[in-house]
Chain A
Amino acid sequence: MSAVLPKHIPVVREASPGLWALAWRRLRADRVGMVSLAVVVAFLAMMLASYAGLIAKDWNKERGVSYANPAFLAGAENLEAKEVTNKDFGTQAKPVDLSDIDPLAPRYKEWEERAAKIAVTEVKRAETLPFGGDKWGRDVLEKAIKGSEVSIFVGLTAALFATIIGTVLGALAGYWGGRVNDFLEWFYNIFTSIPYILLILAFAAVFKKGLDTIIVILALTGWTGIYRLVRAEYIKHCGREYVKAAQAIGASHFSRMFVHILPNASHVILVQLSQHVVQFIKAEVILSFLGLGVPVDMVSWGTMLAEAQNELVIGKWWQLVAAGASMAFLVTAFSMLTDSLRDALDPKLK
């Protein structure tokens, strides 16, 4: 049997579905799953569109009066819109003259001339906005869209990192066992013996504030569950005969860990990933409430809810509803998709 043999390349290549293809087929048959998937994809598309600046680009523009009414409540009285600035306070007095001590005095003239040329444009603020306005008169609908960008981004990246940490550590512990396992279990025990919320707070207290920090905190505290499952998965698969067979044919440790076992544990990892996205989107809200979150020139569902905290009492429910409902909608869809994924990906159900 050597190279002299005529080249004999494949006969008919029948379409042969792999497990992923089969999983996709099963998912396709699941109506709830498909609807959820559509919703999730729609949200992702919305997020990308907003990121690309196609929609909600001007979310930060103050289009309306403070707490502008939603369009369907056009007539309602809006006390908040009347901005009392007390601007006239002290105007009876003559402005104090600084020219004798002012380091800028030499250029007063130039300054005044330039100032005179700059036109003052008065913006007309709308009384109503499609779904109402926030404190600054920004459209809450646009805010909710723009907020999805940060919330989903935080959820996705943090979940991705947590999954990577959990998967790598879990794979190491489950595959190698022994000392490696002992060490990683020790590490795991440390993280799990501190109640989760305390752990988050402890991390949050010491890190600088910002979007990246939220992601880091969530990833650093959220990997434990994934680690545990992946480890169990690896222990299970290490005992499986196909892995023994791979060892028997001389496949390297790396190959066994990542080429052989990883794809077979991937359904577990994928389901965990999607579960953690949901969990982290919810966690972002809490962290934002504690002020540990998103920078001021960005908006997330969490910051919206934190703002909306006092708005219900003054009758301005729309920001609470806009952020709460968008989040609930996405998270519900995502959770249902996770359930469907779990069913579809589970090779047992074949």
Chain B
Amino acid sequence: MAAYVIRRLWQMIPTLAGVILLIFFLFNWVGGDPAQVLAGKISNPEQIANIRKQLGVDQPYWYQLWVFVQQVFTFDFGRSWSTNEEVSKILLTRVGPTLTIMVPVLVIETMLAVAFAIMVAYVRGSLTDRTIMVICTTAMSISFLVYIIFAQWLFGFKLGWFPVQGWSESFSRNLLTYAPLPVMLAIFVGLAPQLRLYRSFFLEEINQDYVRTARAKGLPEKQVMMKHVLRNALIPILTNIGIYLPGLFVGSFLLEVFFSIPGLGREIVTAVNRSDFPVIKAVTVYLAMLTMFINLLVDVMYKLVDPRVSFK
């Protein structure tokens, strides 16, 4: 187990190096010049050169890459080029709101999706099943943008059930007042594909031999589904959640933009628009690391749900 974890950690190094290279290549090579944004509405070439010098973007590429690598390993990405705020502080303050939205989304969505999926998988082939699948497919086909525009207008404005947008410093208030509408939207949009996916997982399991064994033992259908099938289907579901988890931290930037949620997703969009390299680099590298750790975590958790997994 320990050896496995260490080996996995060791294997992260080349990937991380690749991420660093990719990001560096994208932003320092192909990307724009941040000095211009910082220079303001009037600036002469000398001033720009001065800014470039201060940002270090006048250094040779290899040197900038070296600085980047140092930043990665000291966890110090310095300050945002556009706001001068410490990058680490930006990330820390933004991650809260994003998670306030995305964690409920994940929890509720997963529970609903699993519950519905097991239900429709049980009645597979029936009219109910087919109807739900058609509804899912249709629901998936409408653009998220349409949902947001429409729901904000309808529930926020026309019906006034929720505030149109906003965020406060109080966690409970955010969760109870500001989060419900975006959370609902995200669940509504995310549920359909998850449901379809989980249904296929359940169907896959239902056709396994051990299910026949369970039936042959005389187990009632409910127990067959809820114990034998569910437990096995949890394995692919867990993988799926593992894939989904890193995205949790990015959040849905569309939601964050429309509902004025000061989250990470919106921050990323802004940073990208302003070529705020320290922020983008930090977000990307940290999220890549986080993703790798989550993958490791998920793999370790496999052991808990799937005894066949051994740490070789």
Contact = CB atoms under 8 A, between A and B. Distances in A.
Contacts of B287: 193-195, 198
B289 to A, nearest CB: 8
B166 interface: no
Nearest to B243: A192
A197 B253 contact: yes
| A195, A320, A328: most-surrounded residue (chain B CB, <10 A) | A195
B181 interface: no
A202 B26 contact: yes
A336 B137 contact: yes
A331 B149 contact: no
B141 A332 contact: yes
B146 A193 contact: no
Contacts of A290: 269
Contacts of A282: 143-144
B246 interface: yes
A285 B145 contact: yes
Contacts of B32: 205-206
B141 A202 contact: no
B142 A202 contact: no
Interface size class of B (residues with CB under 8 A): 35 or more
A190 B15 contact: yes
A154 interface: no
A193 B153 contact: no
A238 interface: no
A202 B27 contact: yes
Contacts of A202: 23, 26-27, 272, 280, 284
A164 interface: no
Contact of B27 (A186, A206, A308): A206
Contact of A195 (B22, B23, B249): B249
Interface string A231-266: 000000000000000000000000000000000000
B292 interface: yes
Contacts of A301: 143
Contacts of B268: 198, 201
A197 B248 CA distance: 11
A189 B292 CA distance: 9
Interface residues of A, number: 43
Nearest to B16: A193
B157 interface: yes
B26 A206 contact: yes
B31 interface: yes
Nearest to B251: A197
A335 B246 contact: no
B298 to A, nearest CB: 13
Interface in B1-53: 14-15, 18-19, 22-23, 26-27, 30-32
B273 A308 contact: no
Contacts, number: 123
Contacts of A187: 18
B29 to A, nearest CB: 8
B146 A324 contact: yes
B260 to A, nearest CB: 15
Given A205-B31, A312-B150, A286 B280 contact: no
Contact of B15 (A193, A278, A331): A193
A197 B253 CA distance: 9
Nearest to B295: A193
A42 to B, nearest CB: 16
A282 B249 CA distance: 22
A313 B157 CA distance: 9
Contacts of A20: none
A207 interface: yes
| B142, B143, B275: most-surrounded residue (chain A CB, <10 A) | B143
B208 interface: no
Contact of A335 (B27, B137, B149, B273): B137
B247 interface: yes
A193 to B, nearest CB: 4
| A198, A203, A207, A327: most-surrounded residue (chain B CB, <10 A) | A198
Interface string A53-90: 00000000000000000000000000000000000000
B242 to A, nearest CB: 11
Given A190-B15, A198-B250, A204 B143 contact: no
B83 interface: no
Nearest to B22: A190
A190 B246 CA distance: 14
A314 to B, nearest CB: 11
Contacts of A320: 146, 149-150
Contacts of A207: 30
Contacts of B273: 205
A292 to B, nearest CB: 10
B250 A195 contact: yes
14 contacts: A186-B14, A205-B272, A285-B143, A286-B143, A289-B254, A290-B269, A305-B146, A306-B145, A324-B142, A324-B143, A331-B140, A332-B137, A332-B141, A335-B137
Given A206-B32, A285-B144, A289-B254, 13 more contacts: A193-B291, A197-B265, A202-B272, A205-B280, A206-B27, A289-B145, A305-B149, A308-B149, A312-B149, A312-B150, A313-B157, A320-B146, A329-B141
Q: Sort A-B residue pairs by CB-CB distance and give the 4 closest, nearest first.
A: A331-B141, A190-B18, A206-B30, A193-B288
Interface of A: 186-187, 189-198, 201-207, 278, 282, 285-286, 289-290, 301, 305-306, 308-309, 312-313, 320, 324, 327-332, 335-336, 339
